[in-house]
Amino acid sequence: MAYQAGRQRSQPRPVPESLEAQAYLQDYATLLEAVPFPSVVFDHRWDVVLSNAAFETLFGGVGAHPTAMPGDNFLRFVLFHPDAGSVLGEHESSWCLPMLAHFAAAVERNGQDRGLQSIRRDIAQDPIMDAAYRHGLPHWIRAVGPRGVEHDGAVRPLVHPDPRWGSTNCRIVDDTPRTLRDMGYSRMTLVLREAVRPVTGGPRRTRRTRNGTAELRAV
């Protein structure tokens, strides 16, 4: 059973055995779909359990990849998908390094997890990424401090395919309820921020209306 809203995932994920937990996830999928911003629920390996239509729209233009689709595993997408930088602005500094930091923490907690070990092997196969993980990441963590690593509250650039958003920023919100957390899941929402657009048409000046009040108009 796949709970992800939108398209069918390429690899089905294990589901909770409890019927109550399954029913909760089904209802939570309905709630997620009502959220206007991209929102995703994943497990400790970043395997996607739920995502909404806004999430699918944001990443809908990326090409196919055998192991790094955003709707399958978000960490793999950030690290390994060649199109990730076309959506995630300042890809290396704003997305890759924070995700690598969270991955390193997950490996410390669950070093024997086969899914995490598989990601670590793929990192090791990329000499540049492996060097960044083993040598550069500790220096970066010390430089930015805990707040620089934290996802919740971070403002990061992205490029939305909808021209109404275009090149903008999003605030990452970790809004995981206790029931999801008890299942081992986390929820991340990307709250899109209105792009600051330059004022066109030159400077504004005032003119007088018939009743003598000032009114702004573009020149």
Q: Could you read off the pLDDT of 70-102 as tens digits, one per residue?
A: 999 999 999 999 999 999 999 999 999 999 999
Give Cα 170 distance to the centre of its chain. 9
Query: Does the pLDDT at position 204 exceed 70?
Result: no
Hey, which residues does 47 pair with through a beta bridge?
Answer: 73
Q: What is the pTM of this model?
A: 0.82
Q: Which of the 8 DSSP states describes residue 88?
A: B
Domains of the chain and CATH, by start:
19-218 (3.30.450)
Structure confidence at residue 139 (pLDDT): 93
- What is the average per-residue pLDDT within 170-188? 95
| Structure-model confidence comparison of residues 37 and 12, the more confident one | 37
Q: Which helix (H) or strand (E) holds 218?
A: strand 214-218
Distance in angstroms (rounded) separating the CA atoms of residues 156 and 133: 21
pLDDT band at 199 (very low <50, low <70, confident <90, very high): low
Rounded to 5 degrees, what are φ and ψ at 201? 95, 10
Residue 7 three-state SS: coil
Distance in angstroms (rounded) separating the CA atoms of residues 195 and 92: 22
Rg (alpha carbons) of the chain, rounded to whole number: 21
Distance in angstroms (rounded) separating the CA atoms of residues 217 and 113: 63
pLDDT band at 108 (very low <50, low <70, confident <90, very high): very high
